[in-house]
Structure 1
Amino acid sequence: MSLTSPLIDLRRSPKGAVGTTDSNEQKKEKSLPIISASKIKVKNGKVIYRELKKTSVYENIGFSAANFTTQKNKRSSIDTGLSLAGIKKVELKGKLTLMEDWDFSPQTITFSGTFNVTKFNIPTFNNILEKSLPNEFDGGLLSSRGRVDLRAGQLNSEHDITISKVDLGKTTGYSREIPLGSIIKVLSDKYGNIRITLPVTGGSHQSKVECHLCYNQQPYEWPGKGG
């Protein structure tokens, strides 16, 4: 099966449900039929997600799968990528197995593969970063190559991250004695690049995810809030 330039338009209703229409039809009680395909390929897809106060657009979506199925305990091979505002490409590739028919929630799937981010433009996300950092960014690109293992809601991953062309901007007013400029100088190599390895572990049942920043073989524990 092959699809070229498909468009999916999702709208969030005032009650929080997401659908392709504003219909209030009830979900059917009977279970969905199992879908299986030896090969699926989607090229140049686009998704529009309309929330009540914000609309997000996801473009250049590509997806391919071999032996894809919505049946539990069957393995599929997936390879997907998309472009977002401020990010050149996000890619996810690996083996996927469902524990229940049609259930793609993180708590009930098994996935092992790679997760890569190419040219994440840091200044695009200043409105988010300013809430936890003392400076905005006038420049900066982040790329990451990672291995991911997700089993029954438990995540184990490790990411090799490169940050380049960093240029700090104006102060944000946020201050917890974070010497961001000094930290960047210490971590940068002679070409101005920052290279770190970031293992991330956690689970849906945990209140926070521990991140370990490794630099010069010295680990630093960085507790962060879990999703």
Structure 2
Amino acid sequence: MGKITIAIDGFSSTGKSTLAKQLAKKLEYIYVDTGAMYRAVTLFAMRNGIVENPGALVKLLPEIHLKFIYNKDAGYAEMYLNGENIEADIRTLEVSKFVSKIAEIGEVRQKLVEMQREMGREKGIVMDGRDIGTVVFPDAELKIFMTASPDARAARRYKELLDRGENVSYNEVLKNVRERDHIDSNRTFSPLKKANDAIAFDNTDMGLQEQFERMYNYALRVVKKFSEKT
């Protein structure tokens, strides 16, 4: 059976990465977390004290080398920055506070989009982010746009951060979710928006297993239809 490209976009904390990982594993596709790539660049900027200096970051972009390396024990690929495993470092609320601002920078998006397109050149890939179906893979055979209420997303993110041992408040997380929504949807370069041919998927009141089963069954139908054409 032929392989397709699956593009998953949507707001923060809607479970894009979770769904993408599940689909990739079940379909035996490659999974790419583009959010991790932007978080990695953000962490680089934070470590170099240039979060508020886009010009300096752009000049240092050639020094940023990103790579996903599969962790057999974890069951997914982890993010490496210049040879260092930074998977845990990029998942903090501190990085979340700055990542949307870093993702606004046109040169950053251009560099990462080029990398993402190269990763998906052979199809058989599930990629999630903010502009996958609109910019990175506008011709993807399956596009999913995920959304959920800000309160539901903040609750999920709050629990996730607490489970990691971070000292955060729910109101702080909710504020961050709303701020990221505004920045992501209103930035000049590649704003977050639903592709015209994407499936709108609201999972506010839906469990992980239910959302996976729905999207997996739909993906199978798309794969079958694509295979019949090729």
**TM-score normalized by structure 2?**
0.28
- Could you say which structure has the greater relative contact order, defined with CA pairs below 8 angstroms and 6 or more residues apart? 2
Could you say which structure has the higher helix fraction?
A: 2
Q: Which one has a bigger Cα radius of gyration?
A: 1
